[in-house]
Amino acid sequence: MAYFDAASSEPLHPQAREALLAAVDVGWADPARLYGQARRAHLLLEQARTEVAEVLGARPDEVSFTSSGTQAVHLGVLGTLHGRRRVGRHLVTSAVEHSSVLHAGGVHERDGGSVETVGVDITGRVDLDRFAQAVARPDTALACLQSANHEVGTLQPVAQAAAECRKHGVPLLVDAAQTAGRTPVPPGWSVLTASAHKWGGPAGVGVLVVRKGTRFRSFLPEDERERRRVPGFENVPAIVAAAAALRAMAAEAHEQARLSELVTRIRDTVPKVVPDVEVIGDPDDRAPHIVTFSCLYVDGEALLTELDKAGFAVSSGSSCTASTLRPSHVLEAMGVLTHGNVRVSLPRGASAAEVDRFLAVLPDLVRRIRQDAGVA
């Protein structure tokens, strides 16, 4: 089986596995206590915090660990809004943010706040002029913009958006789930979130980074752990493994360049070998590992099933199947084709031979599905 769904979860990095096994034996104690085993766990936790901060361009005391990337987003969005209630209750997001951002915005709206959603162009890039106008509203408390889109890979103009936010004293939350460890973090953000299993760490570890000077107050009952931002006992072995994976992934820039070349091959080849197909997202300004395309007259669920039978684990940004008529909010906002949507996201170590085999079997699978539907 060729695993092509790294945007959902990257396989565990070998260095993460090694670090996890070692930390399980020595990092199990409560890092908040004072006896020997606890002090050892505390040292491991703080070393991991320092390593993560270094890769993300932050200070160690700005970094907190959460139980997932989703929890990091929820805490980041709602905690920053809560901390800035005196400024206003207005939240600005792009139309293609991850559902965790949109769901946090929904909670904010139900609590009496307002949310302004800024549209994107056909590549999935946010309208920067409209974004700037939105953050200029006097009661804007927070703006959110992902570093790269999780479904189509398009990089967002984070540095430019951050500059606009800075003009108006508005903090910018960046969801860096798809780029942390793969590409440098753009400058100017106030809050950053990420998820360890996206960069080859274990599942169950998220990262919430809050810059010094950013007003933040957790909306949850206060807890003494993780700078009073995140409640609950830290999973020290998993955090140690997450830091090891992030450090290793960030040092493998050559691997990301290699994956980007393979993605370019897919982007260039699919429209040549499959009729009536649309390759989605920016062809150049994109995450190195993601490519998405949609096939007209093809049921997306059927195509994913056939690819699975052929030995390829891929996913879809669209739920537009026989049982669900609504496409993903990302593809809908972009105004692109949603039928037969396939997202290929290459993990570390994906081979050119696997990509070539994918490109060889895809045309016949699409043709057969269209024949079965009577549209070939």
Distance CA 212, CA 192 (A): 12
Amino acid in the structure at residue 293: F
CA 231 vs. chain centroid, Å, equals: 23
DSSP state of 206: E
Half-sphere exposure of 101 (CA within 13 A, CB side): 30
Point out the residues that are catalytic: 320
Run of H or E including 140: strand 140-144
Q: Which residues pair with 280 in a beta bridge?
A: 292
Distance CA 242, CA 233 (A): 16
Distance CA 196, CA 245 (A): 8
Q: Which of 37, 11, 10, 9 lies closest to 24, judged by CA? A: 37
Distance CA 77, CA 79 (A): 6
Distance CA 205, CA 207 (A): 7
Distance CA 273, CA 263 (A): 16
Query: What does the radius of gyration of the chain's CA atoms come to, in whole angstroms?
Result: 21
**Residue 138 exposed, middle or buried by CB count within 10 Å (0-12, 13-18, 19+):** exposed
Q: Which residues contact 25 (CB under 8 A, 6 or more apart)?
A: none
Contact indicator for 144, 175 with CB cutoff of 8 Å = yes
